[in-house]
Structure 1
Amino acid sequence: MLNRKTSHFLGMRVQSELEHLSELRREAGKDRSSVRGLAARTRASVRTQSTTTTAAAAAAAAKADEDPGANLFPPPLPRPRICMWKYLDIHSMHQLEKTTNAEEMREVLAELLELGCPEQNLRDAITLDLFCHALIFCRQQGFSLEQTSAACALLQDLHKACIATPLGNVEECYRYFTNVLFCHGVRRPPFSIDLFKEEQLLALEDYVVNTYFRHFKLYKYVFTPQVRLDLSLTYMGLQPPKLWPESEMEKEESKEVEEQAVTLQEKELETVAPPEPEPSHIHVLRAYIKTQVNKELEQLQRLVEERLKASEERLSSKLTALEQPFQLPPGKSKSKTK
């Protein structure tokens, strides 16, 4: 009896577990279908977003093509940060330190900065000269490898900020340069470090101001495209000019040429014609002016002659006084004879 009951109980339990498993499978199938639908929806949304972003990018590009001044304004300057080992790492600095003359330094620096052919490209040649002189300055000041790398990186970032736009931004670049310079002179990690001393900071600032900022417009002229301003004025409320047909235009031009020829002939006749007699009152006025001018000239001549005579008399009196021999007074001569 017990075996029958236990077997019956076990059969009922197994059947209930099988039913529970079938329900779980159904729910899992529903979940899979819902997940698939959700995935399809997300894919569709991603596709729509990508299409909208591509459409927006295409519209922005078309707008930039239509408006040439859209790319004229520069992007905002980056935040000033520590730039040690930014462009020239420790291995590059060791290579530059091994150079003994300027030619070797230029070759190594051109290779490190990935400059193509400075002999043919003027921009690469100017960039190479800029950094070569900066390295020579760092050697003269006795900078360490870290200081030299930071100085070159600072100059490189300043140059990028300068050539980012053909418009004038010297004040913004100088403000950015001073902020980056202070990032390497004050110990406030992680924002700034005391890499340079105060004297070194002042020397570096003077060098950059006297070399780069003094020729700021020249660098901008060489490394930025030329900007031309073309103005077209349209006045509101005015009708556009009417275009004449070619036949009428030719007629108008022929008429203008004939009128110009007639005016030239009239001018020639006017120049050849004898002058008309002046009116009586103009003649009287001219005669009066001449007489007054002659009187004034006579008075001036008299004054000049009188002054010349007076000066001659003074000179003659001085000459006669100098020509007479020097005579002592009689009292002094008697005392000497005694």
Structure 2
Amino acid sequence: MDVNVQVRRPLKPKVLLWVDVSYHDMQEIDQIQSIPDLESVLCRVFHIDIPEPRRGVLLELHVQTVLFCRENRFNREQTSALLSIVKCMHQANTETSLSNMEQCFEFFSELLLCHSVRRPPFSINLFNSAEVTRILKYIHSTYIRHYNLYKYIFTPQVRLDLSLTYSGMLEEEDIVLEDTAVPDMEKVMEKESEELRYENQGIETQAPSTTGLDVEVTTPGSKSELRAMIQQEVREELVRVSGQLEERLKESADHLNSALASLQPSLQGNK
């Protein structure tokens, strides 16, 4: 099993016109009306060769993008560029099991800027301001809203294997008493009966040492109680970490919502 977790890499936006979907591919896509035929063409164009259910989810993502472009009457250049932009955003999300939702949305916004502002050769004005706003709303209400589901389906699950070792504590199978340290039960019973007889006679006696050895007795329940305490502490810590994670996800969602509102004025100022 691969125990390495890929970290997030720096993402560089670039112009993606005709990179994944060629002009000939767009001609074929425009002529297709049925969803199964459209899935077949997109599967060939994007070289999707992964098992289910990831294959179906990825095809659904591209099919819905094509339908969105048709609904907004995007031309072939716009549709080809938007398909590649969505593909790059999805790759940025699924290349690591770590949370990178904010980074993915920023990368998507930068890619969209590369296709909405005329600054050759760094960017082209393929989408106008109104189209950029519609695309942002569409991506936010579809992909970003289900970001965690895409992360769960397309990335390996990371598990924390926690092992605690305490110095000075023996395992149960290591606790072995030597024969010389075990007192003779018959002698102990005789001494107890003798002490009891002396006490009844009003004679004070001093109990002698049985073996002359100091034996530390550990009750069987002490280790189980310690294990229960450790498990309780770990559970409480996991609950606390989960609460912090949910709070961070909520803050990220609020940040994305504010980014949608602030991106449009910046686009108008750059044009």
For the criterion TM > 0.5, the same-fold answer is yes
How many Å separate the matches in 2 of 1:135 and 1:173?
21
User: Displacement, 1:231?
Assistant: 1.9
How many Å separate the matches in 2 of 1:185 and 1:244?
74
How many Å separate the matches in 2 of 1:247 and 1:131?
73
Structure having the higher Rg: 1
User: Displacement, 1:246?
Assistant: 9.9
2:26 is aligned with 1:93: yes
Contact persistence 2:8–2:100 (CA under 8 A): no
- Stretches of structure 1 lacking an aligned partner (at least 5 in a row): 1-63, 258-338
How many Å separate the matches in 2 of 1:187 and 1:173?
23
The equivalent of 1:218 in structure 2 is 149
Aligned-partner SS, 2:117:
strand
Aligned-partner SS, 2:118:
strand
User: Displacement, 1:128?
Assistant: 0.5
Contact persistence 1:82–1:191 (CA under 8 A): yes
How many Å separate the matches in 1 of 2:101 and 2:71?
28
How many Å separate the matches in 1 of 2:178 and 2:96?
50
How many Å separate the matches in 2 of 1:198 and 1:256?
73
RMSD between aligned alpha carbons?
2.7
How many Å separate the matches in 2 of 1:246 and 1:90?
83
TM-score by length of 2: 0.61
How many Å separate the matches in 2 of 1:156 and 1:246?
67
Change (3 A) 1:136 1:256: closer
Mapping 1:122-201, distance limit 5 Å:
122-201=53-132
Change (3 A) 1:256 1:116: closer
How many Å separate the matches in 1 of 2:47 and 2:124?
29
How many Å separate the matches in 1 of 2:220 and 2:161?
32
Which residue identity does 2:26 align to in structure 1? Answer: M
Q: Specify which structure has the higher proportion of helix.
A: 1
Out of 69, 72, 84, which is 2:17 matched to?
Answer: 84
How many Å separate the matches in 2 of 1:150 and 1:76?
23
How many Å separate the matches in 2 of 1:189 and 1:77?
23
Number of equivalences: 181
The equivalent of 1:109 in structure 2 is 42
User: Displacement, 1:102?
Assistant: 2.0
Which residue identity does 1:239 align to in structure 2? Answer: G
- Stretches of structure 2 lacking an aligned partner (at least 5 in a row): 183-218, 222-271
User: Displacement, 1:241?
Assistant: 2.4
Higher relative contact order (CA 8 A, sep 6+): 2
Mapping 1:9-88, distance limit 5 Å:
68=3, 71-88=4-21
